[in-house]
Structure 1
Amino acid sequence: MKVLIMSDSHGLTQEISMITDRHKQEVAAMIHCGDSELERKNPLMEDFLAVRGNCDYDDAYPDDFVENIAGKRFFLTHGHLYNIKMTLMNLAYKSEEIGADIICFGHSHAAGSEMIDGKLFINPGSIRQPRGRMEKTYAILEIGAKQLEIIYYDLEGKIVEELRNAYQTE
């Protein structure tokens, strides 16, 4: 089962539409980790599990969201309320409290994934203003029976191999 994850699109619409059209038939869920700068009722956002970022002004978005997908408990947040630019510790504590397996967040615009104490932390980067890389990125997580594989893509849909990772699960 696959899950599309993006963040920090900051007002982009054509790019969200392009990514959605490219992958909607292959994914079971789509996540936006905030700073879309679009209203929740915007048709582009209707198929996304989405949270509110520090640049989102529509309070129809929740700050945090928990969703069970493919037997995994996902915790979605933008990250600004957890000080993620300094540390993942606050986010790790919150994920422990709610029993999350996979934590999706944005805010820093820095793409990457990391397994910490059996929990997978995923930042898909930004499709508008990446930091630390040239590529504007989003990610697809593939959930297997014993493995989680995270594949990052650029806007053109090419895999960014340096960011690709597979993590074993129990």
Structure 2
Amino acid sequence: MKFLILSDSHSWQGELKPIIDRHKEEVDYMIHCGDSELRGTDAVLKEMIVVRGNCDYGEDFPEEVLEQLGPVKLYVTHGHLYNVKMTATNLTYRAEEVGAELVCFGHSHIATAFAENGIVYINPGSIRLPFRPARTQTYVICEVDEANIRVTFHTIDGDEYPELSEQFERVVKG
């Protein structure tokens, strides 16, 4: 199973669409972790799982999404409600509480992937206003198979960013 994961595009449509078009045939699900600053009716978000970020106004998107997608229990939130700019602790508590295997979040504009207690956390960074690393605009392709979760970071132009990419052993619970 493959996921395209984006976040913090901050009203960019022209830059978001080529990324979606580049990968939509190879992925099973597309996720936007908030701060799209677009309406839920916007065509570019039509096929995406989208959550509300702190810069998204109105009721177009939920604060969080928890879904069983095939064998993967996915949790998506923007992160501002869990203070992710300061610590991942609150988010890890929530992920454990809901029994997630894969957690996608944004807000900090810092591209990262890590595992804790058998849960993989992915912040794809920002395609518009990246903070780190080196202000590189990034997104993620995540591939989950029976044994591993591979997180491959890409630049906005589609080039792989191997310095950030990670592979985690899959810990299937229950």
TM score, norm. by length of structure 2: 0.96
Query: 2:70 and 2:160 mapped to 1: Cα distance?
Result: 23
CA offsets, 1:38-57, max 9 Å, x none? 00110111111000000001
How far apart, in 2, do the equivalents of 1:98 and 1:51 lie?
17
Letter in 2 for 1:32: H
Q: Deviations over 1:80-126 (max 9, x none)?
A: 00000111111111111111011100000000100001000100000
Q: Which secondary structure does the structure 2 equivalent of 1:14 belong to?
A: coil
Distance 2:31 2:99 in 1: 19
What SS does the aligned partner of 1:75 have?
strand
CA RMSD of aligned residues (A): 0.8
| Correspondence list, 1:129-148, <5 A | 129-133=129-133, 134-148=135-149
The answer for the alignment partner of 1:35 in structure 2 is: 35
Q: Which residue is 2:12 aligned to? A: 12
- The letter for the 1-side match of 2:167 is A
Shift in Å at residue 16 of structure 1? Answer: 1.0
How far the C-alpha of 1:69 sits from its partner, in A, is 2.1
Distance in 1 (CA, whole Å) between partners of 2:161 and 2:92 is: 26
Give, in angstroms, the shift of residue 58 of structure 1.
Answer: 2.8
- In the alignment, what sits opposite 1:156? 157
Moved over 6 A (4+): none
**TM-score where L is the length of structure 1:** 0.98
Number of corresponding residues: 170
Distance in 2 (CA, whole Å) between partners of 1:67 and 1:28 is 14
Q: Distance in 1 between matches of 2:20 and 2:58?
A: 21
Query: Contact (CA 8 Å) 1:40, 1:58: kept in 2 or not?
Result: no
Structure 2 gap segments, 5+ residues each: none
Code of the residue aligned with 1:148 in structure 2: it is I
Q: Which amino acid aligns with 1:144?
A: D
Q: Displacement of 1:138 after TM fit? A: 0.3
- Does the CA-based 8 Å contact 1:2-1:29 persist in structure 2? yes
**Separation in structure 2 between the aligned mates of residue 144 and residue 96 of structure 1, nearest angstrom:** 21
Counterpart position of 1:25 = 25
Using the TM superposition, give the Cα deviation of residue 169 of structure 1 relative to its aligned residue in structure 2, in angstroms: 1.5
* Residue pairs, 1:18-167, within 5 angstroms: 18-133=18-133, 134-167=135-168
What secondary structure sits across from 2:163 in the alignment? helix
Secondary structure (helix, strand or coil) at the match of 1:163 reads coil
What amino acid is the match of 2:85?
K
The 2-side partners of 1:83 and 1:126 are apart by 17
Whether the 8 Å contact between 1:113 and 1:120 is mirrored in structure 2 is yes
Contact 1:70 1:143 in 2 (8 A): no
In structure 1, stretches of 5+ residues that fail to align are none
| Identity of matched residues, % | 44
